[in-house]
Structure 1
Amino acid sequence: MAAADPLTPAVRAGLAAAARLLSPARAPWWVIGSAAVALHGADPGAIADIDILLDPDDAARLLPPAGIALAAGTADGLFRSALFGRWTEAPLPVEFMAGLAVRTGTGWHPVRLDPPVRIALGNTELPLPGRAALHALLRLFGRPKDHRRAAALAATAGPPVASSGTPPHASG
């Protein structure tokens, strides 16, 4: 029996809504996390929300007019963001992280990604890290669910979707 498509109607509608909301963005933004894994054709498991990484200026300009309250992201021990907002009016909750940083053994380091690759989902073009960059990002996050998603991504058939160069990194 084939696995269920993780890109459920709610995920598809949530991604399309986020893309419409961010269409006037001035800086690149990325779909990351489980939705990005599914967009690359791997099974991330259940998708409970959509994670978006974006520029702090775009977050401050675009999200509040849509009714998305922004706050300084609180550090949870592994992650923190300059701004964080959760959009619950979308068909599936969307979490916006601007200025995301990851804690490594040497402290907090901002996550930087190469320019996004674009994958079409219906009539919507979605930006996300290339396959190799997404794999590296999931490994950097380091939680068990991220390792499972990285393994699923690595196990999918076909060559990686090319990014423009280096995988993501925590820079400091």
Structure 2
Amino acid sequence: MAAAVMTQVSHALGEAIAASVPALHAYCRDPWVVVGSAAAALAGAAVEVADVDVLASSADAERLMALWQSLRDTRFVPAGAERFRSRFARFHFPGLPVEVMGDLQLRGSQGWQPVQVKEIVQVAVAGVPVPIPARGEQIRMLESFGRPKDLLRIQRLRAL
């Protein structure tokens, strides 16, 4: 894992990270990583961030569901069930929702495959270390997802 880099973020993203990431460090027993628009923003890309997506193990997802039970949004149904599956939960945090995906899988030409992050870097947000995929790794993952919003994020990440 690469060294930490200080990152400037929106107020909403900073609030969500301050409220959730310390608990991720404390309660997750397996490696976890922030992905999606939040990771792109933390890497410095000019993207809109609607939530904080966290890839974790299924066991850690279950642990977080128990820990954050009072914050859980039980009505939310994630889009893309035909392409993505995981042990999913969405939680209401200050700033932005946090979505936890335990053992996320993507369905492609070879069936269901685990979504894996091969290179992680640490960014610091208000002194809180946050693991995100390295820029090239984010681009690789987003290319495999292939949605219009992912293609925009790829452009913004390549522009850095």
Range class of TM-score, shorter chain: 0.7 to 0.9
- Superposed CA offset, 1:94-125 (max 9, x none): 11101100111121111111252111111111
- Superposed CA offset, 1:41-95 (max 9, x none): 1112x21111111111111123312215599x896221111x1110113431111
1:153 maps to: 157
1:41 maps to: 44
- Alignment of structure 1 residues 51-62 onto 2, 5 Å: 51-62=53-64
3-state secondary structure, aligned to 2:118: coil
2:5 maps to: none
2:101 maps to: 97
What percent of counterpart residues are identical? 37
2:67 maps to: 65
Q: 1:151 to 1:74 in 2, by over 3 A?
A: closer
3-state secondary structure, aligned to 1:35: helix
3-state secondary structure, aligned to 1:77: coil
CA–CA separation in structure 2 for the residues paired with 1:110 and 1:155: 28
CA–CA separation in structure 2 for the residues paired with 1:147 and 1:18: 28
* Match of residue 19, structure 1, among 18, 21, 24: 21
Root mean square deviation of aligned Cα: 2.1
Preserved contact between residue 28 and residue 115 of structure 1 (Cα < 8 Å)? no
Preserved contact between residue 29 and residue 54 of structure 1 (Cα < 8 Å)? yes
CA–CA separation in structure 2 for the residues paired with 1:147 and 1:32: 15
| TM-score normalised over the length of structure 2 | 0.84
* Number of equivalent positions: 148
CA–CA separation in structure 2 for the residues paired with 1:42 and 1:150: 9
Preserved contact between residue 19 and residue 93 of structure 2 (Cα < 8 Å)? no
| TM-score normalised over the length of structure 1 | 0.78
- Extract unaligned runs of 5+ from structure 2: 1-7
- Alignment of structure 1 residues 118-129 onto 2, 5 Å: 118-129=122-133
Spell out structure 1 runs of 4+ moving beyond 3 A: 68-71
CA–CA separation in structure 2 for the residues paired with 1:75 and 1:42: 24
